[in-house]
Chains A and B, each alone.
Chain A
Amino acid sequence: MIGLFKRDLALAVRAGGGFGLGLAFFLIVTVLVPFGVGPNTGILSTIAPGILWLGALLACLLSLDRVFQLDWEDGSLDLLATSPLPLENVAAIKALAHWVTTGLPLVVAAPILGVLLNLPGPGYGWLMASLALGTPALSAIGTFGAALTVGLKRGGLLLSLLVLPLYVPTLIFGALVVTRGAAGLDATTPLALLAGITLATIATLPFAAAAALRVNLR
């Protein structure tokens, strides 16, 4: 299992675009927003929590179709499926690797982008906490979506269509944490609900993803 995780990290680093691309996308989305809504810092600081969460969500979405596609194309997925490693573990490891290469950098970069959008002072801690607790759910849900669409020729667009509605609760609670936090309120309740969603998705979706992979491999 650790071997698969290490290999995925090595591939992400060497192939380029693993760590960098999602982050760059996050940066560009965030930078584009003021061009769209105007430079008014008051408005920007109001919408900053939502924009940052939405940017992080889209950046996660961007790299999802690579989660299984490359392994499927070069036959590695067939070999993994016949290996002693259960596909459930493969799916869980893939989700973890996706989070480490995509979600984790976003958590670290988000406060810097928060400055660009004038996010109010108390919001920064909540922003990092909510992204750290919420992005694993994005990776787990996304891995499930990737498993559903792995064999399809134009899976990328379909993947977004399938995954985005599933992202709704995570986005709602995640952005709510930051909105409340930035307003100086206590955001423990939505944060706890967010953590609940993350734990539930991590615990259950690898099984659904493995079931989908088995169907797609046959």
Chain B
Amino acid sequence: MHMTVTDLACARGSLQVLAGVSFPLSPGQALILRGPNGSGKTTLLRTLAGLTPPLSGKIVAEPDAIAYAGHADGLKAQLSVAENLRFWAGIFGGSGIDDAVSAFDLAELLDRPAGELSAGQKRRLSLARLLVTGRAIWCLDEPTVSLDASNVARFAAAVGAHLAGGGSAIIATHIDLGLPQADILDISPFVAKSLPVSDPFSDEAFA
């Protein structure tokens, strides 16, 4: 599934953080976002996912194509691992819970309440959720936080399988996932140096 981003400007709060971001994303391609802390990786991902409206520019993608996974795991502590997965599968109308469970080695944890999992296990569960959404474009924000080396490999394998199946992914991460299809997009050049031209309160302040 294709996605084209043209001249995108994004804001965090009321502050413009990125401007002029453009890239194409084709099926089977992964884009690794790089940039120092605070440069706007999270903002860009939230904008792509449709949570934050862009200040200007265009994002062309099919509707309901994007699955977003942010810093928070989005899990309910009182529900079991299986219930959490089933819930999101139901919401997204997706299937493939079994694949998700095996991809992230969750079979033994299925009946445990999510609240009793370790941080790394929670992360695996929240990544497994991506598989049950059935969405083609993954927007992932630091997905490997609190994963150990073997689970990072597991995650990389899951992304690889997703790409091989015609999906694509935009991942903000500092770790080398070892994906051959991955292109790196350094967002430092896009960091906004000034207020947007459209800011009605800036025009006169500097006149």
Contacts and interface: CB of A to CB of B under 8 A. Distances in A.
Q: Taking the complex as a whole, does A directly touch B, i.e. does some CB pair lie under 8 Å apart?
A: yes
Interface of A: 2-4, 7, 10-11, 14-15, 73-76, 78-85, 217-218
Main secondary structure of the interface of A (DSSP, over half): helix
Given A7-B87, A84-B64, 20 more contacts: A7-B76, A7-B83, A10-B79, A10-B83, A11-B76, A15-B78, A73-B72, A74-B73, A75-B70, A76-B74, A76-B75, A76-B76, A78-B46, A78-B49, A79-B69, A79-B74, A82-B49, A82-B50, A82-B68, A83-B92
B189 interface: no
Nearest to B74: A75
Q: Top 7 closest A-B pairs, CB basis?
A: A75-B72, A3-B90, A75-B74, A14-B78, A218-B52, A76-B74, A82-B68
Interface residues of B, number: 30
A74 B71 CA distance: 9
Interface string B141-176: 000000000000000000000000000000000000
A65 to B, nearest CB: 18
B91 interface: yes
Interface string B28-59: 00000000000000000010011111000000
A80 B76 CA distance: 13
Given A74-B73, A85-B91, A218-B51, A79 B68 contact: yes
A14 B93 CA distance: 25
Contacts of A79: 68-69, 74, 88, 129
Nearest to A75: B72
B8 interface: no
A217 B78 CA distance: 24
A78 B70 contact: yes
28 contacts: A4-B91, A7-B76, A7-B83, A7-B87, A10-B79, A14-B78, A15-B78, A73-B72, A74-B74, A74-B76, A75-B71, A75-B73, A75-B74, A76-B76, A78-B49, A78-B68, A79-B88, A80-B91, A81-B50, A82-B51, A82-B66, A83-B133, A84-B64, A84-B93, A85-B91, A217-B51, A217-B52, A218-B46
Contacts of A84: 64, 91-93
Nearest to A12: B78
A74 B79 contact: no
B101 interface: no
Contacts of A3: 86-87, 90-91
Nearest to A218: B52
A74 B91 contact: no
Contacts of B68: 78-79, 82
Given A11-B78, A74-B74, A218 B91 contact: no
A76 B129 CA distance: 12
